[in-house]
Amino acid sequence: MSHPSKHLLAIEGLEPPHIGDLLDLAESYALLNRSGKTQRDLLKGRTLINLFFEDSTRTRTSFELAGKRLGADVINMSVSTSSVNKGETLLDTASTLNAMQCDLLVIRHAQSGAPALLSQKVDAAVINAGDGTHEHPTQALLDALTIRRHKGRLEGLVVAICGDITHSRVARSNIHLLTTMGSRVRIVGPPTLIPADAHRLGVEVFTDMKKGLEGADVVMMLRLQRERMVGGLVPSAREFFRFYGLDAEKLAVAKPDSIVMHPGPMNRGVEIDSAIADHPTRSVIGEQVEMGVACRMAVLDILARRLPRNR
Ligand code: NCD
pLDDT in tens, 175-229: 999 999 999 999 999 999 999 999 899 999 999 999 999 999 999 999 998 888 7
Supply the pLDDT for residue 89. Answer: 74
Supply the pLDDT for residue 35. Answer: 96
Provide residues with CB under 6 Å of ligand 1.
Answer: 58-59, 130, 136, 139, 169-170, 223, 225, 263-264
H or E segment and range at residue 294: helix 285-305
CA dist., res. 80 & res. 185, Å (int): 36
Give residue 135's identity as a one-letter amino acid code.
E
Q: What is the mean pLDDT of residues 300-306?
A: 96
Q: Classify 12 as helix, strand or coil.
A: coil
Supply the pLDDT for residue 311. Answer: 52
Q: Above 90 in pLDDT, residue 235?
A: no
CB atoms within 10 A of CB 82: 7
φ/ψ of 50, rounded to 5, equals: -95, 110
Mutate which of 136, 143, 161 to test ligand 1's pocket (most atoms within 8 Å of Cβ)? 136
- Ligand 1 centre to CA of 309 (Å) is 33
Answer yes or no: are the C-beta atoms of 207 and 191 closer than 8 Å.
Answer: yes
Q: What is the mean pLDDT of residues 264-286?
A: 97
Q: Above 90 in pLDDT, residue 132?
A: yes
- Ligand 1 centre to CA of 31 (Å) is 25
Q: Classify 204 as helix, strand or coil.
A: strand
For residue 168, give every residue at least 6 positions away whose Cβ sits within 8 Å of its Cβ, in sequence order, or none.
133, 222, 223, 225
CA dist., res. 241 & res. 250, Å (int): 11
CA dist., res. 155 & res. 108, Å (int): 30
Which ligand 1 atom sits nearest the alpha carbon of residue 136?
A: 4
Supply the pLDDT for residue 84. Answer: 40
- Ligand 1 centre to CA of 225 (Å) is 9
Answer yes or no: are the C-beta atoms of 244 and 267 closer than 8 Å.
Answer: no
Supply the pLDDT for residue 297. Answer: 98
Q: Tell me which of 230 and 161 has the higher pLDDT.
A: 161
- Is the model's pTM score more than 0.75? yes
Give the start-end residues of each E strand in the chain.
47-52, 73-78, 104-109, 125-131, 158-162, 184-188, 204-206, 218-221, 259-261
CA nearest to 9, candidates 124, 100, 146: 124
Supply the pLDDT for residue 81. Answer: 53
φ/ψ of 76, rounded to 5, equals: -105, 125
pLDDT tens digits, residue range 43-95? 999 999 999 988 888 999 999 999 999 999 999 987 765 444 556 678 888 88
Sequential DSSP letters for 121-186: T-SSEEEEEEETTTB-HHHHHHHHHHHHHHHS-STT-EEEEES--TT-HHHHHHHHHHHHTT-EEE
Answer yes or no: are the C-beta atoms of 159 and 147 closer than 8 Å.
Answer: yes
Which ligand 1 atom sits nearest the alpha carbon of residue 225?
A: 12
Cα 173 from chain centre? 7
Q: Which of 87-91, 236-240, 301-305 has the lowest mean pLDDT?
A: 87-91
CA dist., res. 96 & res. 74, Å (int): 16
Average of per-residue pLDDT values in the chain? 93
- Ligand 1 centre to CA of 123 (Å) is 27
Helix axes 16-35, 169-180, angle to 10 degrees: 110
For residue 256, give every residue at least 6 positions away whose Cβ sits within 8 Å of its Cβ, in sequence order, or none.
none
CA nearest to 165, candidates 127, 215, 203: 203
CB atoms within 10 A of CB 247: 16
Beta strand 259-261 with 218-221 is: parallel
